Amino acid sequence: MGVSKEDRMACSVHLSEDECRVVILDQTQLPNRQVYLTLETAEEIYQAIKVLAVRGAPAIGICAGYGMYVLARQKTAESYDEFYKELSKDGEYLISSRPTAVNLSWAVKRMLSVVEANAGKSVPELVELLHDTSITIHDEDIEMCTRISEYGLSLIKPGDGILTHCNAGPLATSKYGTAIGPVLLGKERGIDFKVFSDETRPLLQGARLTSYELQKAGVDVTLICDNMASLVMKNGWVQACFVGCDRIAANGDFANKIGTSGVAILAKHYGIPFYTLGPTSTIDMNCPTGADIRIEQRDPEEIKNMWYKEPMALPEVKCYNPAFDVTDHELLTAIITDRGIVYPPFDVNLKNLFA
């Protein structure tokens, strides 16, 4: 399938028209304001990723790829060694912004590997190769999201109720997205589903982003508080759970936005299929189990103050604010990837996926 410049420019992360800067739709401003940010420096790119102006593992990867190219074209170093040293330092800095999302380090390392593989070329030639690679990363994600959506669509039927947690739509990826990709692809084909979107405390990605995307696409979406998922499942309104993933371990354990493991436990209790959807770049075969995934701890103020006119807790009250939790592979029905649907045993079949 061909990807046009127009396809890329329609995504929430893309290069500017003159291809000198990274442009992102600031997700912290949604749903009330559509604000685009132009990123040019390493600090601007780092902050955009850190504060979740750009978020979602694939979107972060796309942003990192473009970011590395934009930073490379600003280098004044004439020698290969100096150019590589400076760009490597930028890469390490960007990776430190969100260590859990494997797509971030994956994209940075992929860009650096292009430089390593072409040590004999001039700096301008290296910059052009990095430009082409950053475009390829984006195109591959659009193609992967389309394939993931096709595979996911094959598992549900018209009228099904789908429950999702956090946001794994086009804002977090490209084109259709991952977790809600099957719903959006189905809608394009005249197939309707009913989606229940967990609000996803404390950053409210489900409320601010998922329900926004689905409502704009004309999908029947109902926003629920996180603690309502059990009742919605008990009522028989949910036939499948679709969630995204920030890192999948070699045994099938996976990290996703905090609260995902609770949804999986509820789905298991009610006998509802529970799927995670993500590109193969999210699978980390060097990570044996979920216990090896580093979980990012975020600012306690996100719980106490972020969405409120006045604080919702006393200043001296302690807060525990992990960004992710890990869902055990035993709770997982299947992993839906761009290369196909992976069923248990995951430790065997994930290896086969890369064979």
Q: Which of 90, 141, 246, 338 is catalytic?
A: 246
What pTM value is reported for the model?
0.86
Between CA 183 and CA 244 the distance in angstroms is 14
Please confirm, yes or no, whether 90 is among the known catalytic residues. no
Position 201 scores a pLDDT of: 96
Position 257 scores a pLDDT of: 96
Position 1 scores a pLDDT of: 54
C-alpha distances (whole Å) from 289 to each of 14, 47, 95, 178, 292 are 33, 29, 21, 22, 6
Between CA 170 and CA 282 the distance in angstroms is 16
Terminal Cα-to-Cα distance of the chain (whole angstroms): 24
Q: Establish whether the linkage from the previous residue to 202 is cis, with ω within 30° of 0.
A: yes
**For residue 184, with 0-12 CB atoms within 10 Å meaning exposed, 13-18 middle and 19 or more buried, which class applies?**
buried
- Please provide the DSSP assignment of 114-126 as one string: HHHTTTTS-HHHH
Residue type, 306: M
**Coil, strand or helix at 80:** helix
Residue boundaries of the structural domains of the chain: 5-145, 157-354
Between CA 282 and CA 284 the distance in angstroms is 6
| Among 315, 324, 340, CA closest to 290 | 324
Give the per-residue SS3 of 275-297: EEECCHHHEECCCCCHHHCCCCE
Q: Which residues of 319-350 are buried (b: 16+ CB within 10 A; e: fewer)?
A: eebebbbbbbbebbbbbbbbebbbeeebeebb
Between CA 37 and CA 35 the distance in angstroms is 7
> Would you give per-residue pLDDT tens digits along the chain (355 residues)?
578 888 899 899 999 999 999 999 999 999 999 999 999 999 999 999 999 999 888 899 999 999 999 999 999 998 999 999 999 999 999 999 987 777 899 999 999 999 999 999 999 999 999 999 999 999 999 999 999 999 999 999 999 999 999 999 999 888 899 999 999 999 999 999 999 999 999 999 999 999 999 999 999 999 999 999 999 999 999 999 999 998 999 999 999 999 999 999 999 999 999 999 998 888 999 999 999 999 989 999 999 999 999 999 999 999 999 999 999 999 999 999 999 999 999 999 999 999 8
37 contact partners, CB below 8 Å, separation of at least 6: 23, 24, 26, 44, 48, 53
Domain 157-354 has CATH 3.40.50.10470: yes
Contact of 133 with 110, CB cutoff 8 Å: yes
List the structure tokens of 245.
């993933």
| Among 129, 104, 138, CA closest to 9 | 138
Domain 5-145 has CATH 1.20.120.420: yes
Q: Report the relative pairing of strands 340-342 and 334-337 from DSSP bridges.
A: antiparallel
